Structure 1
Amino acid sequence: MNFSSYQFTPLEQYICELYEHLAIRSPHQLDMIDIAAKLNVWLHFADIRSTAIERNGVYSIIIDRRLSRQQQWQEFGHELGHVL
């Protein structure tokens, strides 16, 4: 596959720009806690359904710790989308 001719979707372009803004340049830098901290979002893990909350301009994401690591990442991405 020739990636040089690939056209990013608007969402993909937004994510690339977000990673650039956060100085994320390689996969080993992908860390939920670090990303949340860089975005000034409180990140919590609890035995409840994942959700995003905003109170008085303060954003929090709660991730269901009963989920697998892969599912937690999916939930984090979903909830972060609400925050952003």
Structure 2
Amino acid sequence: MSFTTHTEDFIKKLYTQLGIFLPSQLDFKEIAYKLDIQLYYWENPSQALFFKGKVYIFLKEDLNEQEMWQDFCHELCHALWHSGSQRKMPYSWIEYQEWKANSFMLHACVPTFMLKKLLLPLGEKKAVQFICEQFNVEPEVAYKRLQHYSENHSDERYALLERSNYIGLC
């Protein structure tokens, strides 16, 4: 039996409420629009800001498409789960928030509920490339996400391997 984490459940609920069910629907501009988050591009590192009850995400303008998607998801975590200025926080709390935002990014870029529906190719290299193509992420992100998925949903991965063997794919 497989269990999901709070982050996986949150992202599934969020995306479902936004009408996002497929990897092809993962568009950070559309997500920002639906969540009433103002998006801006600038030369500085990406960040989320809160001003007068409104959320703003500033993305570093010279990032490639995959990096922008990944940065958006990282900053989305700050926008949805965090508050206040990190300038006034103890360093350990900043580290914790950044760790949470990085974890959130992996799950928001490559949602478990979508990954479960895909038939991943056998072999790590092929699976990573497939995830890159389906979810528009960089190979390092796809690899980390595949590792998390395999560790936390090993029973489903095993069932996939068994099904592949049974139908003669291996």
TM-score in terms of structure 1 length: 0.88
Query: In structure 2, what is the equivalent of residue 57 of structure 1?
Result: 53
Is 1:74 matched up with 2:74? no
TM-score in terms of structure 2 length: 0.45
Bigger Cα Rg? 2
Match among 24, 28, 43 for residue 24 of structure 2: 28
Is 1:10 matched up with 2:6? yes
Query: In structure 2, what is the equivalent of residue 38 of structure 1?
Result: 34
What is the rounded CA distance, in whole Å, between the counterparts of 1:65 and 1:35 in structure 2? 18
Amino acid at match of 2:52: N
- Between 1:18-27 and 1:5-14, the stretch displaced more is 5-14
Q: How many residues align?
A: 80
Bigger relative contact order, structure 1 or 2 (CA pairs below 8 A, ≥6 apart): 2
Deviation at 1:36, TM superposition (A): 0.3
Higher percent of residues as helix: 2
What is the rounded CA distance, in whole Å, between the counterparts of 1:45 and 1:27 in structure 2? 24
Could you say what secondary structure the match of 2:44 adopts? coil
Query: In structure 1, what is the equivalent of residue 94 of structure 2?
Result: none
Deviation at 1:49, TM superposition (A): 0.7
- When the two chains are superposed, the root-mean-square deviation of aligned CA atoms in Å is 1.0
What is the rounded CA distance, in whole Å, between the counterparts of 1:6 and 1:67 in structure 2? 36
Deviation at 1:28, TM superposition (A): 1.3
User: Following superposition, which runs of at least 4 residues in structure 1 exceed 4 angstroms of deviation?
Assistant: none
Could you say what secondary structure the match of 2:56 adopts? strand
Instruction: Point out where structure 2 has 5 or more consecutive residues left out of the alignment.
Output: 81-170
